[in-house]
Structures are given as C-alpha cells and as structure tokens.
Structure 1
C-alpha cells in the first residue's frame, strides 16, 4: 500500500523544505559522524513524505530504496571509522617497534662500508640462490683493494664482515669504502643481487611521514627499509 500524506502549507514550497532538510549548518564534527549521516537521511526522507504529491505519492519501492541507501552510507562510514582506528593502532605499534631498535645494528640497501679499527660490517641480499658470489671492496679512489668469492650461496640476506686485510697483505686504513657484488647462476649473471650497508639506529622520529629510524651512517629509514637487525 502506498504511503500518502497531505502537503505542507504555510508558504514553504516542497523544494525549499527539501533544501532546508539537507542544510548542514550545525557542528562540522557531528556532520561527519555516522549518527549525523543517519539523521540527515531520515530528515530528508520524512520531508519527502510530508511534501509528496497526494495524487502521485511515493510508492513502497521508493521508500525501501532510500532506506537501503541509508544503510549503505552508514556501513561505509562505519568501515571508514574502523580503518582510521586500525591505521592509528598500526602507527602506534610501528613506533613502539622502531623504538626497540635504538642502539641496534641494522642492514639496509646501500654500498657504503665504514671501516673502524681495521674492521667493517656489511651484507648482501640475494633474490635467488647463486652458484658463486663475488664481492669487491673498493677504496675512495674506486680501486679494488679486496676481492672475496663465495660458493653456493642461498637466497636471502647474508651479513658479512671484513677484517680489513687487503689483497696486498696490508691492513686497510680506517675510513669509508664501497662494496660491489655480482653473482653467477648456471653460467649467467644472476639478477637481484645487491649490497647492504650497516649502521646503528640512534633515534626514532614520528610525524606526518610516519615512523623514521635515524641511522647516522645511512640516513632516515622506514621499518620496511630494514633488511636485517644484527
């Protein structure tokens, strides 16, 4: 059975009444809430019913359709609120996890190798296993001072250390060096082989850009940048 009602009189047209119904002059915060959206929809629906043409009233299908729209909008807003809550929880968890890494050594993508007291730490990341892995350590002038070859290396992150002994038998002076790596698989150059640089997490920063780990030897890193914690 169709729902009917007599039109509202008193100088206000149906069009104006509808505009008044959806006019949001109240609190901005409340208009963004799920409750405010529900109230807005219900006010609009009731206003439509009050101002409908008695000769051409809204049928039940139209009312049901608008109620379904209300449920859809309400569901979407609740989902958005849930997502925002999960994002905040994730950010708090990431910040706490990052703080626990302060004073810990980490490996991240990079070719720099800091030698101190005749020793240095670095790493290699392999996308696939390789038959042979060649590691070349170069000085500031770009000259290879030490070469090391490893056999049958599995995929993954491989932390390595250098004792500072150069190929000419002397000890490398402290300072910054670089690492170049290459792998062979089945007689062909392997892909997905990259050097990793070592650093110690000094502090953690949080802000609009998310949680950042401050590593003096590398720079600012995200948690996703960390390949391994040592």
Structure 2
C-alpha cells in the first residue's frame, strides 16, 4: 500500500503547521511590547491638566494581559487540533484490510450470504427485512421479529434468490404497534487504502469507493 500522500500531509504538519512554544512566546512578547510603547506615548502626550489616573493605567495593563493570554491559548488550541488530526491519520492506517460499517444499504452476495446491520431509535415489536435487486425489485422478504433499540446485525442467505457476487440493496421497516420506528441502515465493506483529499481523511472501500473517515460507525 502506498502511504505517500498520507505521510506527506503528516510531515508537512510537523514542519510548518505546529507553532513552537518559542514562537508563541515571541508573538506574545511583541504584542505586549507594542502595547507598552503605545501606553508610554499616550502618557507622554497626555493633557497635563487632565492626566490619566492610576485606574486607567491599571485597566489598560489588565487588558493587554488578557489579550496576550488569549493569543497564547488560541495558538495552543490550534496546535492541539493539528496533533489530534495527525493521531487520527495514523490510527486510520490500522483500518486497512478490515471490514467497517458505514451508513448505506448497498450489499453484495459473498459465500451465498449477505451481512449488514441497522440501528433502531427505539424498541420495535416487528421488523421486516426486504432484499432488493439491482433494479430495485423485492426478491425476498424476511420477518426479523421483535428487536431492541440500538444496533442489530443480520445475515441473509441468498439461496436461489441471488447469484454469487450479485450487488443488491435492502430496506428495513420497523414498527412498535402501529407506530413506525426509525431505522438507519449500514453496509459493511473492506478498507483498501487511506488517503488525504483536500485536508479530509478518506477511506477507499472495495465496493463503495471513497468515504469520509468520520462516516465509519463501527469496525467489524
């Protein structure tokens, strides 16, 4: 696997993206120095009949300290964000070769079966699974019975309904009495590679192609 694009982004972040502590200190010192020069100039040119009182000077000194502190905090937060992004990139490499779950309903028959999952917002008294052909026609209906809230995984045996390697889709209809229960469907696919696209971490999946790293709901 070629990690060059991912590594290039990570190296760039280390060399130019992170602000060193010495740079932060220098920027804060320059800001404070400019303020002090302005304050001295203001005091030198103040109206002698209406000079600045101690409260004004103290207030302005407190303001510059706040600005300096906020500047340092902002730089620290940016550094932290960059470091977390680099950690995320390194962690994503470990997904290569593994199956992941992402939102969707596209599936493929493998070894005579289809494996996928769905998530229910609440408990359902009845859950119906419908397998659809590439043309969107129902080729099989399975009653999954009562299901609890949360993630549920199912295995569908294709039998003679679909050939090996066939690309299908599915839908879930869940009810609790007469009330519908919302269901989010997930498809399982294998991660082939990891790359960076315009600052976004992407996964290349075997069947589905590129998906955003943040769309991964589970590692199977």
TM over 0.5: yes
Which residue, out of 158, 162, 185, partners 1:172? 162
Match in the other structure for 2:7: none
Paired with 1:207 and 1:60, the residues of 2 have a C-alpha distance of: 56
- Taking a change above 3 Å as real, the CA distance of residues 42 and 208 of structure 1, as seen in their structure-2 partners, is farther
Which SS does the other structure have where 1:33 is aligned? helix
Question: Which residue of structure 1 aligns with residue 97 of structure 2?
Answer: 103
Distance 1:218 1:186, change over 3 A: same
Structure 1 residue 207 displacement after superposition: 4.9
CA contact (8 A) 1:157 1:228 kept: no
- 1:189 matched to which residue of 2? 180
Greater Cα radius of gyration, structure 1 or 2: 1
Do 1:109 and 1:194's aligned partners in 2 also have CA atoms closer than 8 Å? yes
CA contact (8 A) 1:133 1:153 kept: yes
Q: Which moved more, 1:195-204 or 1:143-152?
A: 143-152
Q: Deviations over 1:20-59 (max 9, x none)?
A: xxxxxxxxx89x9222211111111111122222222211
Counterpart contact for 1:107–1:196, Cα < 8 Å: yes
Matched with 2:190 is: 200
Residue 209 of structure 2 corresponds to which residue in structure 1?
219
Task: Number of aligned residue pairs: give it.
Answer: 197
Q: CA RMSD in A?
A: 2.1
Q: Which residue of 2 aligns with 1:89?
A: 83
**Aligned counterparts of 2:194 and 2:80: Cα–Cα separation in 1:** 21
Paired residue secondary structure (2:162): coil
Q: Indicate the residue corresponding to 1:76 in structure 2.
A: 70
Query: Within 1, Cα distance between the matches of 2:219 and 2:52?
Result: 66
* Counterpart Cα distance in 1 of 2:124 and 2:75: 48
Q: Residue 5 of structure 1 aligns with which residue? A: none
Aligned 8 A contact 1:118 1:171 in 2: no
Q: Tell me whether 220-229 or 194-203 shows the greater mean CA deviation.
A: 220-229
Q: Tell me which of the two structures has the higher relative contact order, counting C-alpha pairs closer than 8 angstroms and 6 or more residues apart.
A: 2
Deviation digits for residues 74-128 of structure 1 (CA, Å, limit 9, x no counterpart) = 1210110121011012101211221111111011111111123422222112122
> Which residue matches 1:24?
none
On the 8 A contact 1:91/1:210 being kept in 2, the answer is: no
- SS of match in other structure, 1:202: strand
TM-score normalised according to structure 1 size? 0.78
- Asked if the contact 1:139–1:178 (Cα under 8 Å) also holds between the matched residues in 2, the reply is yes
> What is the CA deviation profile of residues 176-212 of structure 1, one whole-angstrom value per residue up to 9, with x for unaligned ones?
1110111011322212x02211111111113543322
Q: State TM-score, norm by structure 2.
A: 0.81
CA distance in 1, matches of 2:80, 2:153: 34
